[in-house]
Structure 1
Amino acid sequence: MFYTIAAYLMWGFFPAFFPLLRPASPFEILAHRIVWTAVLVTFMLVITGGWRELKEMSLRTWGWMLGCGITITINWGTYVIAVNSNHVADAALGYFINPLVSVALGIIFLKETLTKAQVASVSIAFVAVLWLTFMTGQAPYYSLALAFSFALYGLLKKQISVSSMGSVAAETIVMLPFALMYLGYLQVQGESTFASEGPGHMALLVTSGLVTALPLLCFAQGAKHLRLSTIGMLQYMTPIMQMLWAVFVTQEDMPTERWIGFIIIWVAVIIYLADLVRMGHASRRRARLHSPTPSTDETAA
C-alpha cells in the first residue's frame, strides 16, 4: 500500500510543481514532460533488460500505443493549462468525475452491466455537470477534458497487455517526434525558455520527466498487491488534496453555485465508493464459500 499512497500523494502535489516551470508556456512544459519521461523510462528499460518488450511489440500494439499516447498527452496538457491558469479546482473536479466516466465508457464500449448504485452515481454526476454549466454560464471544460481523456486512456489500455514501464515508454516514444519538433520550432522562433531562464529553470524542466514517471511507476508497483476496491478509495486522495490546494493556497473563486455542483459530485462519488466496498465484501464472501474445506484428516495433520 505504501507505493500506491506515495503515488497519489505525489499526484496531489502536482499543483505546487507546474507553476514553478513558468515562464515556459503550458505547451512547452508538455513537450518537455514527454521528452524527459521518454528518456528516463527508456533508460530504465535498457538497464533492466525490459527494452526487448518494445522490440517485440506488433504493429497493432504500436497502433494502440499511439492512441494511448494521444489521450495521455491531451490529459497532461490540459492539466498543465488548468493548473497554470489557476483552475486547480476544475482539475480536481475532473479527477472526481473520472471513475464515473470510466463506468459510463464501460457500458458504451465494453457492454458492461451496471449495478443500480453505479447507474445512480453516473446519473447524479451528469446532473452535476448540467448544474455547473447552467448556473455558472459555462461547461467545466477542463474537468470534462481531464475526465474523458484519462477514461479513454484507461479504455485503450484494456486492449493491450504490456508492462507498466513498457507502456509508459511506448506512449511517450510515439509522441516524442511531435514534442521534439515543437521544441525545435520554439528554439527557431526564439521563444524557448529552456536555455534562456538560467540553470535552475533548465533543471526543473528536465525534472518534469522524473515528476511524471515516478508516481506512475509507484502506482504500478503498489497496484499489484491491492484490491480494486482499495485502489478505488485511495484514488480520491489526489483530487481531495488538489481541492484543498485550490481553496487554501491559490484561493480560487468558489461561488455558492459552484460549491453546490461539487457537493452533487461528491454525493455521486460516495454512492460509487459505497457500492465498490459492497462488491468487494461480496466477492470475498463468495471466495470463502467456494474455497475447499479441509477434511478431518487434513485438519488433524
Structure 2
Amino acid sequence: MKFNKYHGAAISAFIIWGFIPFPLKALAGFPSSQILYFRILVAVLTLLAVSLTVRRQYWQETYALVKSKNAVEKRRFFLFTFMGGGLLTINWLAFIYVVNHVDIQTGSFSYLLCPILTAALGFVLLKEQLRVVQWLSVGLSLMSCLLVGTDSLYNLLFSLLIASSYAFYLITQRLLKEYDKIVLLTLQLLLAFLVIGPSYPWFVGEEAQPVTGFFLGQIALLSWLFTVIPLFLNLYALKELKSATVGVLMYLNPIINFTMAFVYFNEVASERKIWAYVVIFLSVMLYNLPIGKKKKKEAVVQ
C-alpha cells in the first residue's frame, strides 16, 4: 500500500479527534447540555457559511437529486436526515457528559466497540454479510462488554449509549450514501438546532453558567478544530481511499484517548476493566484481518 496525501488526511482527522478530551475537560465546569448547545450552534453556522460560499454546487446537486426522487424516496431522505440529526445530538451529548463526569476510558471503549456494533447492525438491518472471523470478533466484543458490565454497569450503559447512537447514525448514512456527506451533516445539525435552539432555558436547565470569553473560545476550538476541520479531512480522504482503509485508521482516535486517559489525566482502571480493554483490542484486530476475503480480479493500489 502506497502512502499518499489521502492517507495523511485521514490520519490527521483521527489524530485531531483523538485529542478532543482537552477542550471538553477545559469546559468541565459547564453543563454538558450547554456545551452541546453552543457546539452545534457554532458548527452549523460555520457549515452554512462554507455552504453558501465554496460548496454551493453540492447543495444544488443535492437539491436536484432529491427533486428527482419519487414521493417514497423523498420521505425516506427527510426521515433519515432527521433521524441522523437526532442520533448525532444524543451521541455528542453522551460523549461530552462521559468525558467530563465519568471517565475518558468509557468514551474510548465505546468508539472501539462502535465499528463492530455497526457491522452487526448492518447484518441485521441491511443484510450485509460478515465473515467468520468478524463473527468471532463480535463474540469477543460481547465478552468485553460483560467484563465491563460486571465491573461497572453504569459505565457499560454509557458506552453502549455512545456506541449504539453512533452505530445507528452510520446506518442512516449508509442508507443516504448517494448524497453529499457535508450537505447531510449541515442539514442534520440545522434540524437538531431548530429543535433545541428555541428551548435554551429548558435544554440547558438551571445549571447554566454565564457565557464568558473563555467559554466561547473553547467552543470555537471544539467546533472548528475538533469538528469541522477533521470532517472535511475525512471527506477528502474518502474520495480516494477505501472505506475499509479509513475504518482501520479510525482506531487511532480511541487509542489516543486511552493513552491520554492513563498518561495525562491519571485515570486508573480495575484489573477486570484492563482485561476488557485487552479483549476489545483483540476483537478489533481480529475484525480487520483479511481472512476469508474474496480476492478481486483487479488489485487496487492506494
Which runs of structure 2 are paired with 1:45-60 in the superposition (5 Å)?
45-48=51-54, 49=56, 50-53=58-61, 55-56=63-64, 57=66, 58-60=74-76
Which residue of the partner structure matches residue 245 of structure 2?
230
How much does 1:143 deviate? 1.5
Which region of structure 1 is more displaced relative to structure 2, 36-45 or 16-25?
16-25
Which runs of structure 2 are paired with 1:121-270 in the superposition (5 Å)?
121-136=137-152, 138=154, 140-160=156-176, 161-185=178-202, 191-194=208-211, 197=212, 199-210=213-224, 211-270=226-285
Counterpart residue identity of residue 226, structure 1: L
Distance 1:263 1:190, change over 3 A: closer
How much does 1:201 deviate? 2.0
Measure, in 1, the Cα distance between the counterparts of 2:234 and 2:22.
20
Measure, in 2, the Cα distance between the counterparts of 1:181 and 1:192.
18
Distance 1:44 1:125, change over 3 A: same
Measure, in 2, the Cα distance between the counterparts of 1:247 and 1:93.
13
Distance 1:283 1:76, change over 3 A: farther
Which region of structure 1 is more displaced relative to structure 2, 118-127 or 42-51?
42-51
How much does 1:138 deviate? 4.6
* Counterpart contact for 2:39–2:219, Cα < 8 Å: yes
Number of residue pairs matched?
282
Which residue of the partner structure matches residue 20 of structure 1?
26
Measure, in 1, the Cα distance between the counterparts of 2:153 and 2:200.
36
How much does 1:202 deviate? 2.1
Indicate the RMSD between aligned Cα atoms, in angstroms: 2.3
Which residue of the partner structure matches residue 71 of structure 2?
none
How far does the alpha carbon of each residue in 1:36-80 deviate from its partner, in whole angstroms, 9 at most, with x for none?
A: 111110110100214435655445422211100011111111110
Counterpart residue identity of residue 195, structure 2: F
Distance 1:62 1:192, change over 3 A: farther
Which region of structure 1 is more displaced relative to structure 2, 56-65 or 212-221?
56-65
Which residue of the partner structure matches residue 287 of structure 1?
298
How much does 1:256 deviate? 0.5
1:103 aligns with 2:119: yes
Counterpart residue identity of residue 27, structure 2: L
How far does the alpha carbon of each residue in 1:117-175 deviate from its partner, in whole angstroms, 9 at most, with x for none?
A: 01100011111111221244556122111111111001011111221210110110111
Q: Report the TM-score when normalising by structure 1.
A: 0.86
Unpaired stretches in structure 2, ≥5 consecutive residues: 1-6, 67-73
Match of 1:44 among 40, 50, 65: 50
% identical aligned pairs? 20
Counterpart residue identity of residue 123, structure 2: I
Which residue of the partner structure matches residue 33 of structure 1?
39
* Counterpart contact for 2:88–2:166, Cα < 8 Å: yes
Which residue of the partner structure matches residue 107 of structure 2?
91
Measure, in 2, the Cα distance between the counterparts of 1:67 and 1:138.
26
Measure, in 2, the Cα distance between the counterparts of 1:71 and 1:171.
9
Which runs of structure 2 are paired with 1:57-76 in the superposition (5 Å)?
57=66, 58-76=74-92
Q: Report the TM-score when normalising by structure 2.
A: 0.86
Measure, in 2, the Cα distance between the counterparts of 1:262 and 1:187.
34
